[in-house]
Amino acid sequence: MQPGCLNGYENQPRKLSLRYSPSLALLLCWLGLAILSLATGPALGDELRGLATLNRYEQRQVWGLVTLVNAAAFQIQRQGDKAFPAFREPGRWFDSEDGRYLFIFDLAGNQVVNPAFPELEGVNRLDWRDTWGKPVFRMAIDKLSPEGENRSRWWTHYLWPRPGSSKPEWKSVYLVRAQAPSGAYYIVASGLYGLTPERTFIEQLVADAADLVTRQGSAAFELISSRDNHFVFGEVGVFVMDPEGIEQANSVFPDFIGRNLLDPSFPGHGEVRRQLDFARDQGPGWITSRWPGIEGELAIYLRRIEAGGKAWILGGWMPKPPAKNEPWRASSLSAAKLAP
């Protein structure tokens, strides 16, 4: 493997990665949507844009989740709250055995659908936080509201129990904004527990961090480093360095902040130099990295930005994904091992 190359195909244009589904199925899906778009009813623009991102994902279950949430959002776009009863019925939208369910809330944080936890319907969740302190609903509304960042879709990750359990687990949730015929906005969401991180997740986190640094400058570093923000989950974290190797923000290892990671006394200083050089000369893109005391490799996404007249190097890491023809597997890496 060449340095700066992840599985031999990173830093190249993304190719269709439906390795679990025949290309004919995708063609038929697009053909069906194209036909539907000609029918009388709401436009399918947002639905098509949501499904057009499927080629960014590499796990079949993620593809299914994205399709499910976009389809539910389209039902709300057509029917408004009349679509809600179907979402509570076991079947396509709700399966208590495998933990699949939709939850829906409005832009005030009121939960209007949650078949897995029906006691939460009608409850305002705006100020709810997970066990790490993440204000999940408030963050989602800030991202997706027209008065906020006005995104149409977003991923977030937080601790929440499976149906029938009281033990919180990491859950990766895909959210889509839908506007009902009445003009009311809803946020439609569903998630997967214990999901192996997708490269897209890390790229989104780094993009969010870059946007924050661009808008707020050094004031963003505290937010990026805070555990109650969305820049850390499971075995994933985000960092910011200056070109001299001084760590400015780190969502997992606050002890690194303010340290010169190029100092020879730092065990990973050689890897840090390689990351800085890559971000300057080849980024944005992915590299693999080996750290002292860690079995296997990390995959690190690096990006260099200019903000406030200064250069910053941002990165996000996860356990290295498998090669193209290898199955995805649960990682044995523990976040605690990342620190020397």
- The pTM assigned to this predicted structure is 0.80
In a domain, 10, yes or no: no
CA–CA separation, 238 vs 202, rounded Å?
8
Mark residue 138 as left, alpha or beta (left: phi above 0; alpha: psi -120 to 50; beta: remaining). Answer: alpha
Residues 141 and 41 in one domain: yes
Tell me: do 175 and 271 sit in the same domain.
no
> 176 and 295: one domain?
no
Task: Report which of 221, 177, 170, 160 is spatially closest to residue 194, judged by C-alpha positions.
Answer: 170
Quote the domain boundaries for residue 67.
Answer: 23-56+60-193
Between CA 50 and CA 69 the distance in angstroms is 9
Query: Domain check: are 178 and 205 in the same one?
Result: no
Question: Is 3 inside any structural domain?
Answer: no
CATH number reported for the structural domain that contains residue 159 in this entry: 3.30.450.20
Same domain, 172 and 211: no
Tens of pLDDT, residue by residue over 55-108, are: 788 899 999 999 999 999 999 999 999 999 999 999 889 987 778 899 999 999
The tally of domains found in the chain comes to 2
- The model's pLDDT over 210-255, given as tens digits with 9 standing for 90+, comes to 999 999 999 999 999 998 899 999 889 999 999 999 999 999 889 9
Say yes or no: 209 and 80 in one domain: no
> What percentage of the chain has pLDDT greater than the value 70?
78
Instruction: Please identify, among 135, 164, 193, the residue that sits at the C-terminal boundary of a domain.
Output: 193
289 touches 271 (CB < 8 A): yes
Q: Measure the CA–CA gap between 212 and 208, rounded to whole angstroms.
A: 6
Residue 203, in any domain of the structure: yes
